[in-house]
Structure 1
Amino acid sequence: MALVAVAVFAVLLLKLIRTHHQFITRRIRIRRRRRLLHRIQTCMLMPDQQFGRLIRYARLNHTMPVLLVYFDVERDLRPDYRLSRKSMDGLMDVLHRHQDHGWGSYLEVLIFVYWLAHGLSYRVTARAFSVPKSTVCRVVHRIAHKIMDIAGKVICYPHHDELEEVGLRFGRLARHTAFDKAVGAIDGCHIRIKPPNHNKQDYFNYKQFYSIQMQAICDSQGRFINIFVGFPGSVHDTRVLKNSPLYVNSEYPPPGFFLLGDGGYPCIQSPITIITPYKLPLQGRVEERFNQSHARARSIIERAFGMMKARWRATLFKALEVKVGFCTEVVTACAFLHNVCLTHGDVLEPEPAYDALPQPPIPDSGQETSGNQLRARLAAHVSAPLNVQGHLLEHDYTI
């Protein structure tokens, strides 16, 4: 009985400590908001180191609705910022840095997220925050560069001891244990852009619009673990893959695991392992059953793209109205914020429609090892009975 009492006391103590920590964290955030609001309500006076006097740095209109929404902790941020309050607090923590001017990083993050949520319009954002358009432009580029610098902390491969759990979740998606070694789904996404005047045709893709490519790998929960952005839209998915660090450096997956890709990728086992579905026409029920399980597991990457586009619909459902060189940073920021939202339980369901035009033929492979034998073993595993009698163990289920 004494041991039980000690255990119960320990559990209650841990809950009390956790509750106290959450309370203190919430109070600190509220105090930060109050200090920031006070700085906005007053003329922001900053010391002039050269002349030893206070100078007026800036003054913002604290009655602007987008600011009132943020400082009212009971208000929902999603209508204006497309992020929940919990996701916004998490983003503030990730991007927090010391500022050498009176605004602080909070306002810069708010300006950037609002700009991203409202179609990349500098004019609309400037009016919403009552600041000059040139200031919005500088803030947007500064936060975008900051996200590019730290993107690897949020968009990263799972640790080696997490791979087994990732594979089990893919197996549950596929509804078969043959996919328990799948640790990612890979696909490409076309992001609409306004093409540059030079090399314009390079950006015209097989879907008949101008775009840049976003190659991404996601885990079984739809979180991006690798992205490669920037190739022109006319380039085939396979060529984008072969020019990515993922392929060149054989970064992922580790030996013994594989990625799931669609028919636009080659079925290979080295330098990285990608398993694709069988091509039409299918040869029997074995290939058909494998393709069905494969499609169920691989569809998570399409859902991830759909969630990202649904959240930033004002930006990604039309051509990006920025220079092509800056498009890469904008798309990276969208993927970065997608992961931040999923981490804090902020899930936005994708649109039901998904554009799935057939891919052009795959270019000839180079120094690769075919993954057809591995795929055949997986297909045999999918079609094998779950409970096999002893005298049937030698039967070949690939027929």
Structure 2
Amino acid sequence: MEKQTTNFRVCLPVRKRVAIALWKLATNSEYRSIGHLFGVSKSSVCRCVQDFCKAEIIHFPDWQNLKDMADYFENRWGLPHCVGAIDGSHIPIIAPQEYHTDYFNKKGWHSIILQGVVDGKGLFWSVNVGKPGSLHDARVLRLSTFWDWVGQGVLYPVCTKNIGEVNVGYYVLGDSAYPLQNWLLKPFPDNGRLTPEQQTYNKKTSRAWVVVENAIRRLKGRWRCLMKRNDSDIALVKSMVVTCCALHNLCERHGEDFHQDWNTSAEESGRVITQDSEEECSEIRQALMRHLNI
């Protein structure tokens, strides 16, 4: 963020550049208004935001991090070997010049999708941003770097744990919009004929899955640039979203207060509920169900 002063131009102090970028992310004010507030030009505001949002500062966890996350999930919710929860949310954008219909979502406005994975504390450890708002959550997942990362065998079948005589690898929790995988567990579809054991499984896993829904709500509550359309292009919006997720982690780790009046229901999570009554339940989900009913 720091720039060198030259004979032709005095550069803004790095603290002021950071403050300008944070103001944009937190308020979603127009560049011109922020320029008047800080006494700089509109173009200077834009450059500060672009420079601040350049760094990629969210990375996939290593083996020790995965173990720590699994231990926390089990101690907090009684779910063995779980390392996270996944969900998607729509980020409003101005209609792009090309392929604008692809970005028109089912709610009636243009958006890109944020699909995030959080740990048991609500901290993002995987963020995929930028897929068009018309796509279903399952499709976004299959096109994400997270899907590719899991495909390398990082979560399953390595580091398995025996649960009810079934080897269970690390897994994440999703809602019914996602495909059932050995490393992604979802609720049993509520067809009106769920067994008591299935109802218990749904209740306990859904209670833990809510951690990602709460994380996205707190994320948007703090950083208003994610709630309303701003005057940035899609490429910058993507960078802004990732940066806000990293700032969310920073705020949560340092115990920053979150005021409930920041919450808003204007843009709820973008998940789609599907019924998959034809789907066969996996051995892993069955094993976890039996474990939760002991």
TM-score by length of 2: 0.84
Q: Deviations over 1:136-168 (max 9, x none)?
A: 1222212222x24xx2xxx22333223333223
1:243-322 mapped onto 2 (5 Å cutoff): 243-250=143-150, 252-253=154-155, 255=158, 256-269=169-182, 273-281=183-191, 282-313=193-224, 315-322=225-232
1:156-171 mapped onto 2 (5 Å cutoff): 156-171=59-74
Q: Give the conservation status (yes or no) of the 8 Å contact 1:274–1:371.
A: no
| Aligned mate of 1:198, from 78, 93, 98 | 98
Q: Give the conservation status (yes or no) of the 8 Å contact 2:88–2:115.
A: yes
The yes-or-no answer on 1:332 pairing with 2:242 is yes
Cα distance in structure 2, aligned partners of 1:292 and 1:139: 46
Instruction: Give the match for residue 111 of structure 1.
Output: 20
Bigger CA radius of gyration: 1
1:113 CA drift (Å): 0.6
Instruction: Give the match for residue 135 of structure 1.
Output: 44
Q: Give the conservation status (yes or no) of the 8 Å contact 2:84–2:117.
A: yes
Structure 2 unaligned runs (5+)? 159-168
SS of the counterpart of 1:157?
Answer: coil
The yes-or-no answer on 1:220 pairing with 2:120 is yes
Q: Give the conservation status (yes or no) of the 8 Å contact 1:213–1:230.
A: yes
Distance change in 2, residues 1:198/1:352 (3 Å):
closer
Q: Give the conservation status (yes or no) of the 8 Å contact 1:195–1:324.
A: no
Q: Give the conservation status (yes or no) of the 8 Å contact 1:241–1:247.
A: yes
Q: Deviations over 1:262-297 (max 9, x none)?
A: 11101111xxx1000111114211110000001111
Cα distance in structure 2, aligned partners of 1:362 and 1:382: 23
> Please, what is the CA RMSD of the aligned residues?
2.6
Letter of the aligned partner of 2:175 in structure 1?
D
Q: Give the conservation status (yes or no) of the 8 Å contact 2:90–2:269.
A: no
Q: Deviations over 1:358-396 (max 9, x none)?
A: 616489xxxxxx861110111111112xxxxxxxxxxxx
Letter of the aligned partner of 1:305 in structure 2?
I
Letter of the aligned partner of 1:169 in structure 2?
Y
In percent, how many aligned pairs have the same letter?
A: 29
Q: Deviations over 1:164-194 (max 9, x none)?
A: 33223223443x3xx1210011111111111
SS of the counterpart of 1:248?
Answer: helix
Instruction: Give the match for residue 291 of structure 2.
Output: 381
The yes-or-no answer on 1:230 pairing with 2:130 is yes
Moved over 6 A (4+): none
Q: Give the conservation status (yes or no) of the 8 Å contact 1:187–1:262.
A: yes
Distance change in 2, residues 1:297/1:349 (3 Å):
farther
Q: Deviations over 1:314-359 (max 9, x none)?
A: x222123211222111111111211121222224256375836761
Distance change in 2, residues 1:206/1:47 (3 Å):
closer
Distance change in 2, residues 1:347/1:217 (3 Å):
farther
Cα distance in structure 1, aligned partners of 2:67 and 2:13: 42
Cα distance in structure 1, aligned partners of 2:271 and 2:52: 37
Q: Deviations over 1:34-86 (max 9, x none)?
A: xxxxxxxxxxx9564xxxxxx6x34xxxxxxxxxxxxxxxxxxxxxxxxxxxx
Distance change in 2, residues 1:133/1:214 (3 Å):
same
SS of the counterpart of 1:268?
Answer: coil
Letter of the aligned partner of 1:110 in structure 2?
A
Letter of the aligned partner of 2:71 in structure 1?
L
TM-score by length of 1: 0.63
* Deviates most, 102-111 or 281-290: 102-111
Cα distance in structure 2, aligned partners of 1:162 and 1:325: 30
Cα distance in structure 2, aligned partners of 1:212 and 1:362: 25
SS of the counterpart of 2:53?
Answer: helix
SS of the counterpart of 1:240?
Answer: helix
Q: Give the conservation status (yes or no) of the 8 Å contact 2:137–2:271.
A: no
1:127 CA drift (Å): 1.0
Q: Give the conservation status (yes or no) of the 8 Å contact 1:111–1:140.
A: yes
